[in-house]
């Protein structure tokens, strides 16, 4: 039997980590956790995982900045990353296209500008995947399996 792959979950919301942890455990993956960008970089430097599930909006270093630092470090640049984010839902701006999404409650102008800024920072990055919150467990596992295949 082969050893289970290890995934680093990086999210500042404990409930999200618990939810993702359950999904991973059900599918035989080991995992470690980090609650912010700085913790993520420490964990990555301690031992590189097989994959990182990386939230974008976090305190103490955003997921985008963690990703950029990973790309600069030769020992981390090859670690695959799947961004897991609720940015599109929160801001009303599609993270990948920059297109404004229709929301039941119109976001205020500042929230939209924040979404546009995140979209601009995301542009040009090449993660191995993107999963939007709320997380669909099947979609998450499909993306993980595709990246780790």
Indicate the SS3 state at residue 140.
Answer: helix
**CATH 3.40.50.2300: does it fit domain 6-89+128-141?**
yes
**Number of neighbouring beta carbons within 10 Å of residue 144:** 24
Residues 6 or more apart whose CB falls under 8 angstroms from that of 115 comprise 87, 88, 90, 91, 92, 93, 95, 100, 107
pLDDT, greater one: 116 or 23? 23
Task: Out of 29-38, 59-68, 113-122, pick the least confident.
Answer: 113-122
The pTM for the full model equals 0.84
Percent of the chain exceeding pLDDT 90 equals 59
d(CA 146, CA 10): 20
**Number of neighbouring beta carbons within 10 Å of residue 108:** 10
Q: How far is CA 17 from CA 8, 83, 126, 141, 146, in A?
A: 10, 14, 23, 15, 21
Q: pLDDT band at 1, cuts 50/70/90?
A: very low
Q: pLDDT band at 113, cuts 50/70/90?
A: low
- How high does pLDDT run on average in the chain? 85
Taking every pair of Cα atoms in the chain, the longest distance, rounded to a whole number of angstroms, is 54
Task: Out of 2-6, 42-46, 103-107, pick the least confident.
Answer: 103-107
d(CA 107, CA 14): 26
């Amino acid at each position: 039997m082969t050893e289970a792959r290890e995934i680093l979950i990086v999210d500042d919301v404990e409930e999200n980590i618990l939810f993702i942890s359950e999904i991973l455990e059900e599918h035989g993956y080991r995992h470690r956790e980090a609650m912010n960008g700085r913790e993520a970089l420490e964990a990555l430097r301690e031992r590189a995982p097989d994959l990182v599930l990386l939230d974008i909006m976090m305190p103490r270093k955003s997921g985008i900045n963690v990703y950029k630092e990973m790309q600069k470090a030769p020992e981390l640049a090859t670690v695959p990353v799947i961004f897991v984010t609720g940015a599109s839902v929160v801001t009303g701006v599609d993270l990948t296209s920059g297109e404004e999404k229709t929301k039941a409650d119109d976001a205020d102008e500042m929230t939209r500008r924040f979404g546009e800024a995140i979209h601009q920072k995301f542009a040009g990055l090449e993660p191995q995947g993107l999963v939007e919150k709320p997380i669909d467990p099947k979609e998450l596992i499909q993306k993980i399996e595709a990246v780790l295949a």
